[in-house]
Amino acid sequence: MSSLLVTGGAGFIGSNFTRYVLENTEHTVTVLDALTYAGNRSSLEGLPEKRFQFVKGSVCDARIVDELVQSHDVTVHFAAESHNDNSMRDPSPFVQTNVVGTYELLQAVHRHDKRYHHISTDEVYGDLELDDPEKFTETTPYNPSSPYSATKAGSDMLVKAWVRSFGVRATISNCSNNYGPYQHVEKFIPRQITNILDGHRPKLYGTGLNVRDWIHVDDHNTAVLEIIDRGRIGEVYMIGADGEHNNTSVIELILTLMDQPADAYDHVNDRPGHDLRYAIDATRLRQELGWRPRYADFSSGLQDTIEWYRAHESWWRPAKASTEAQYAQAGQ
């Protein structure tokens, strides 16, 4: 049994991680979260008080970070500004939280010689051609495209440097696009589901040929737990579940699963610098740690996700109008 400090635990992946850990392990969890627009305290409702506590604060606050890192066995760092489109409008909080926040955590885990796991993304590698036979691996050179992915790349580099220069006991995972419950309505899949629930048409950027490698959030999180338990210190692990789909086919599938005509969507302005394709080769994770995804069927995982948003309107409704107003300003 370990005590885990989970940063960003009121966000999409961190809240699912916290819930999963409390339901499936003996570990205790303290969430440190600044409750930005993306954090939602209600995503953590109903968790056992004996093994869970919530602290509101920023990973950029050196004092609170030092105190919490010192008093826990492992820090799992999910907190980030996570949305590419926002990073075009205002990159500043991305640099602060993603780079400076990671720096503060690394300094604290170094001072107190604590185990650290860094959550990152496949976007640090840039993008692939549609017909490229190679996927991203642990040795693919970094080539980020957006302010978001550049700050995540910067944070990964800090971790690698703190491992090599100071012997910090860290691992990094770079995962592909997640879907599942508790994801903010700004993101692709929840935006389209909630548009349809509201009687509005889904919005497809550009040609819609862009490919993402979808993984269910629980599969991401079981991989993270394996890496924390048995990953080799200083190593990087790619997390992905061979779930490549282009955006057009995802919108058409959502429409079909929600009993709408498959062509009932709008083409809107493309994202500047829009990455074409991401694809993960998770061989190391599978072979070294024996990890396997449990959500093999994207269509049924998506159907469950649609049902979750149908049943949890009170969770997503407060963010919907302001999110759509921002998109409307960009013609998206």
Catalytic residue IDs: 122-123, 148
84 or 171: whose CB is closer to ligand TDX? 84
Quick one: three-class SS letters along the chain?
A: CCEEEEECCCCHHHHHHHHHHHHHCCCEEEEEECCCCCCCHHHHCCCCCCCEEEEECCCCCHHHHHHHHHCCCEEEECCCCCCHHHHHHCCHHHHHHHHHHHHHHHHHHHHHCCEEEEEEEHHHHCCCCCCCCCCECCCCCCCCCCHHHHHHHHHHHHHHHHHHHHCCCEEEEEECCEECCCCCCCCHHHHHHHHHHCCCCCEEECCCCCEEECEEHHHHHHHHHHHHHHCCCCCEEEECCCCEEEHHHHHHHHHHHCCCCCCCCEEECCCCCCCCECCECCHHHHHHHCCCCCCCCHHHHHHHHHHHHHHCHHHHHHHHHHHHHHHHHCCC
Q: Which does 58 bind (CB under 5 to 8 A by kind): ligand NAD, ligand TDX, none?
A: ligand NAD
Q: Which does 14 bind (CB under 5 to 8 A by kind): ligand NAD, ligand TDX, none?
A: ligand NAD
Q: Which does 210 bind (CB under 5 to 8 A by kind): ligand TDX, ligand NAD, none?
A: ligand TDX
Q: Which does 191 bind (CB under 5 to 8 A by kind): ligand TDX, ligand NAD, none?
A: ligand TDX
Q: Which does 11 bind (CB under 5 to 8 A by kind): ligand NAD, ligand TDX, none?
A: ligand NAD
311 or 328: whose CB is closer to ligand TDX? 328
Residue 33's beta-bridge partner residues? 56
Q: Are 40 and 315 in contact (CB under 8 A)?
A: yes
Q: Side chain identity at 7, as an amino acid letter?
A: T
CB of 17 vs ligand NAD, minimal distance in Å: 9
Residue 118's beta-bridge partner residues? 77, 172
CB of 311 vs ligand NAD, minimal distance in Å: 20
**Closest-CB residue for ligand NAD?**
11
CB of 87 vs ligand NAD, minimal distance in Å: 11
> Residues in the site for ligand TDX, rule: CB under 6 A?
82-84, 121, 123, 177, 187-188, 191, 203-205, 210, 212, 247, 271
75 or 323: whose CB is closer to ligand TDX? 323
**Closest-CB residue for ligand TDX?**
121
CB of 259 vs ligand NAD, minimal distance in Å: 27
36 or 260: whose CB is closer to ligand NAD? 36
> Residues in the site for ligand NAD, rule: CB under 6 A?
7-8, 10-14, 33-36, 38-39, 58-60, 78-82, 97, 101, 119, 121, 152, 175, 177-178, 184
